[in-house]
Amino acid sequence: MSAMPTRHRTRRPAVEQAAPLQGAGVAAARDGGAEVVVRDVVKSFGTIHALRGVTLTVAPAELVTITGPSGSGKSTLLNLIGSLDRADSGTITVAGKPVPEPRAAVEFRRRVVGFVFQDNLLLPYLSAQGNIEAALLATGVGLHERHSRSLELLAEVGLADRARHIPSELSGGQRQAVALARALANNPRLLLADEPTGALDSASGKRALDLLAKLRERHGMTVIVVSHDAAVARRADRVFHLVDGRVRAG
């Protein structure tokens, strides 16, 4: 694929710049992705101050990485954006709408956001196809459509021939690919990934990153990845550094 001409961006504070989006699918991607705006977000757990006034903006269809040492607040921030937890103060909007509180976020998580975790969280007693179909149950999609869409997604991540395999019969990289396919089942505008390569060897991690980048461009979604992996940061459009609960200048 030939690179598009470099597009200039306005430099923003507290953010390390990286290569701009490239590829023919970028215009369509920007229409499908969701802007994420975090303003002055604070979150504490008892005496532990996880986030101390975090402010950042992610543009539609960007792939950004949030880095930082353990305990810096990376996963906490991801959970707040995905409405798995609520902030003590500050605001978070996704696609122009405030992120709902966790107890009222069923529709948000069903229609807007997809999740990928380090441990993939696949149901061990279901096949690869069954895990994806399970993610579609709450959307009201009929049996035939669940079946066909799950097979399409498995084919997209290169696992059409593993549809009937349960997680224990798959490699770590294959399990993470199934988790990616499952996260795409509801056509999310925003994909949140917490250490998606953390449990993989370097070769499997590279394949997972290649797949994530391909899926981002094809589906036109915004992607936010929390990771310690320098390889993940190199693939991002921009990198945010969190240190002691604050965004640090790049």
Higher-pLDDT residue of 187 and 3 is 187
pLDDT of 71: 82
Say which residue, 94 or 217, is predicted with more confidence: 94
- Model pLDDT for residues 147-157, shown as the tens digit of each residue: 999 999 999 88
Work out the mean pLDDT of the chain and round it to a whole number. Answer: 84
Spell 206-217 as b/e; 16+ CB within 10 A means b: ebbbebbeebbb
Mean pLDDT of 115-141: 88
As beta bridge partners, residue 37 has: 57, 93
Single-letter amino acid code for the residue at 181: A
Task: Go through the domains of the chain in sequence order and give each one's CATH number.
Answer: 14-104+222-250 (3.40.50.300)
Q: Is the pLDDT of residue 7 over 70?
A: no
Distance between CA atoms of residues 217 and 62, nearest Å: 10
Q: Do the beta carbons of residue 185 and residue 151 sit within 8 Å?
A: no
Nearest to 215 by CA among 167, 178, 172: 178
Q: Which residues contact 33 (CB under 8 A, 6 or more apart)?
A: 59, 60, 61, 62, 189, 190, 220, 221, 222
Alpha-carbon distance of 191 to 63, in angstroms, equals 9
Residue 2 has pLDDT above 90, yes or no: no
Contact 201, 40 (CB under 8 A): no
Partnered with residue 38 across adjacent β-strands are: 56, 92
Strand order in the sheet with 97-98: 48-58, 36-45, 89-94, 97-98
Give yes or no for residue 13 having a pLDDT over 60.
Answer: no
**113 pLDDT exceeds 90?**
yes
Range 130-142 burial, b when 16+ CB lie within 10 A, else e: bbbbbbbeeeebe
One-character DSSP codes across 120-180: ----TTS-HHHHHHHHHGGGT--HHHHHHHHHHHHHHTT-GGGTT--GGGS-HHHHHHHHH
Return the amino acid letter for 244: D
Q: Tell me which of 4-8, 11-15, 72-76 is least confident.
A: 11-15
Pairwise CA distance, residues 233 & 238, whole Å: 8
Q: What is the pTM of this model?
A: 0.83
pLDDT at 232 over 90: no
Q: Which residues pair with 247 in a beta bridge?
A: 242
